[in-house]
Amino acid sequence: MRKVLNEKSSLYFSRYYPHLSKTKSAKPYWAVLGIGGNIGDVPRRFNHLFWVFKSSHFVDIIETAPILQNPPFGYLEQNDFYNSLVIVKTYLKPKALLRYILNIEKRFGRQRSFQDAPRTLDIDMIFYENISMQTTALTLPHPAWKQRDSVLIPMSFIQTNLKKLYK
């Protein structure tokens, strides 16, 4: 199902986006992952990603948001992006979770040719618990999340109270 937000953006509701898990996770930490892409059949790729996460021993899916189709920013000479959020629980610490999601991006054919380039799949760690950190490899929370519709609009559909994910 498609819901037009304005002349440039639409929301898509599908079988796995949004999704709210009915099972509890025993993993101790939560993270919010932003997913995006604009090369090929991205909604289908998101469904495949859902099952990669679902079958993973490293993360448990808690919730996903609807998929937002929106214009690119930065480099504008490219197709619209599809974006969503995936809330996961994990036992991986932030840097280990980053290595895991970078590995998944590679499995899905991600190439980093230049900043804001078109991509098959982008996975950003938006939040990890309430941790703030800044290293050369990872900044938490994601530094631009408050300025991006690709985060804010899907986040407005999230039902999970992240504070309740703490044990």
Q: Is the pLDDT of residue 165 over 90?
A: no
- 84-134 pLDDT, tens digit per residue, is 999 999 999 999 999 999 999 999 888 777 677 788 999 999 999 999 999
Q: What pLDDT, on a 0 to 100 scale, did the predictor assign at position 164?
A: 63
Per-residue confidence band for 73, with pLDDT thresholds at 50, 70 and 90? confident
Q: Quote the number of domains for the chain.
A: 1
Query: What was the pLDDT predicted at 167?
Result: 43
Q: Is the pLDDT of residue 166 over 80?
A: no
Q: Tell me whether residue 68 is exposed, middle or buried, using C-beta atoms within 10 angstroms of its C-beta: 0 to 12, 13 to 18, 19 or more.
A: buried
CATH number at residue 56: 3.30.70.560
User: What are the b/e assignments for 133-160, b being 16+ CB within 10 Å?
Assistant: eeeeeeebbbeebeebebbebbbebbee
For the entire predicted model, the pTM comes to 0.94
Residue span of the structural domain in which 69 resides = 2-165
